[in-house]
Amino acid sequence: MLYYSNMKRLNIITGHFGSGKTEFALNLALAQKGQTTIVDMDTVNPYYRTADAKEILESNGIRVILPRFANTNVDLPALPSEIISVFTNHETTGIFDVGGDEDGALALGRYNPYFMKEPYEMYFVINARRPLTRTKEGIIEILREVEAASRLSVTKLVNATNLGPETTAEIVLEGQSIVEEVSRMTGIPVGYTAIKKGLEISVANPIMPLELYIKSPF
């Protein structure tokens, strides 16, 4: 597993439904050294949850904070008060997995004053094979909606373009072209290209090989 030494202490992972943001968040957490806390703030998607990887995270010494009622049939999970401890304990690296649209980002907006107290990274994960993020215009529209709802700024883009088990290097590179165009249009740099382990590509930005931890319920 790679160790990403240029990480900020506070890291927000967001992106549209089906982008692969939770897998990215899990891999980022597992790549850290020292105290790490991952916070599942995804109140939008009930299927692909950090809770599914709780055992492997905790076995690697990572603290996991979950919404109350995560993995139950309760429609609107409550966000626990323990989240505040991530901001007050400056010895821990915090990774926040946030819901995939403006509604999910509203939960993030609740903690805006805490994020504004120190530098943070906000990654916007993009799967250019999803219906609403196939074009640069669609991607930028959702990105701006998330920023407006959270009152925070996206600082890095992540290309996580995939078609599940059918993903090829060519599919990833097609998405890379779109994400790089979004970067040019917005001025937001591409932080990572996230690819399933075993694929080989060459791009200008860092590559994150993903270990897949969450199984589809379908």
Asked whether residue 1 is assigned to any structural domain, the reply reads no
Asked whether residue 218 is assigned to any structural domain, the reply reads no
Asked whether residue 5 is assigned to any structural domain, the reply reads no
Residue type, 7: M
Q: What is the CATH number of the domain that holds 107?
A: 3.40.50.300
Asked whether residue 110 is assigned to any structural domain, the reply reads yes
Give me the number of domains the chain comprises: 1
Neighbour-count burial of 33, counting CB atoms closer than 10 A to its CB (0-12 exposed, 13-18 middle, 19+ buried): exposed
Asked whether residue 181 is assigned to any structural domain, the reply reads yes
What φ, ψ does residue 128 adopt, rounded to 5°?
-75, 10
pLDDT digit string (tens) for 110-163? 899 999 999 999 999 999 999 999 999 999 999 999 999 899 999 999 999 999
pLDDT band at 4 (very low <50, low <70, confident <90, very high): low
pLDDT digit string (tens) for 68-104? 644 444 344 456 678 999 999 999 999 999 876 667 7
Asked whether residue 216 is assigned to any structural domain, the reply reads no
Instruction: Output the average pLDDT for the chain.
Output: 86
Asked whether residue 18 is assigned to any structural domain, the reply reads yes
Neighbour-count burial of 37, counting CB atoms closer than 10 A to its CB (0-12 exposed, 13-18 middle, 19+ buried): buried
Q: 206 pLDDT exceeds 50?
A: yes
> What pLDDT, on the 0 to 100 scale, is given for residue 44?
60
User: What domain range includes position 105?
Assistant: 11-210
> What pLDDT, on the 0 to 100 scale, is given for residue 15?
92
Tell me the whole-structure pTM to 2 decimals.
0.90
The mean per-residue pLDDT over the stretch 22-32 comes to 93
Residues 6+ apart with CB under 8 A from 47: 216, 217
- The span from the CA of 161 to the CA of 127, in Å, is 4
> What pLDDT, on the 0 to 100 scale, is given for residue 131?
92
Asked whether residue 114 is assigned to any structural domain, the reply reads yes
- The span from the CA of 155 to the CA of 153, in Å, is 6
pLDDT band at 106 (very low <50, low <70, confident <90, very high): confident
177 touches 134 (CB < 8 A): no
